[in-house]
Amino acid sequence: MADNKENDPESQHYDVYEVFVQRDPLGYHTHIGSVVAASSEMAQIVARENFLRRDTAISIWVVRQTNIHETSYEDTDFFVNRATDKSYRDVAGYVDNAKKWKAFKERAITIDDLVRDAKR
């Protein structure tokens, strides 16, 4: 917000708010864009007008942009992370299991089977 000419309305500007929308009760708040507004209450109203004219949502978070601490896109660690083989950490690294269960005349199961059990 404004500098030292704080009392001069002409030189004051709206703050930028980043907007996060939650679509359903078990959903996460997801970043959708940003708005400018004079207050957090106004930012919520503007966000609703800008992003939810058609889509439905159950909750909006607005966060003053200056309160967001982002990583740098130059931080290539994220890519290096992807370059190393991490198959030992993923389900995809264990496809052999299914073949082996078959050799024991048993069907392989995945977590989805157990989640489906829970809903029965």
Partner 1 sequence: MSPGSQVNGDSRQVTFMERIERGEKIEATDWMPEEYRKLLIKQIHMHGISEVMGAYPEKEWVPKAPNLRRKLALIAKVQDEIGHGQLLLRVAEDLAKPYGKVRDDMIEDVYTGRVKFHNVFHMDAPTWADAGVIGFLVDGGAIITQASLLDSSYAPYGRILTRICAEESFHMQHGESIVLALAEGTEEQREMLQQAIHHWWPSMMFFFGPPEMSGASLRMMDYRIRTRTNEELRQRFIGRYAPRIHALGLTIPDAKLCHDPTTDQWTYSEPDWDWFGHMVRENTGPKSQERLQMRKQAHEGQKWVRDAMIRATVLQTQAI
Site residues, partner 1 (CB under 8 A) = 25-28, 86, 88-91, 93-94, 96-97, 100-101, 103-106, 109-111, 113-115, 117-119
Write down the number of H helices and E strands in the chain.
Answer: 4, 3
- Nearer to partner 1 by Cβ, of 27 and 33: the residue is 27
Helices (H), the chain: 40-51, 77-83, 96-103, 111-119
- Nearer to partner 1 by Cβ, of 28 and 79: the residue is 28
Q: At its nearest, how many Å lie between partner 1 and the CB of residue 90?
A: 6
Q: Sheet of 30-37: strands edge to edge?
A: 30-37, 15-22, 59-64
Q: At its nearest, how many Å lie between partner 1 and the CB of residue 117?
A: 5
Beta-carbon contacts of 86 under 8 Å, excluding residues fewer than 6 positions away, are 93
- Nearer to partner 1 by Cβ, of 33 and 93: the residue is 93
- Nearer to partner 1 by Cβ, of 70 and 106: the residue is 106
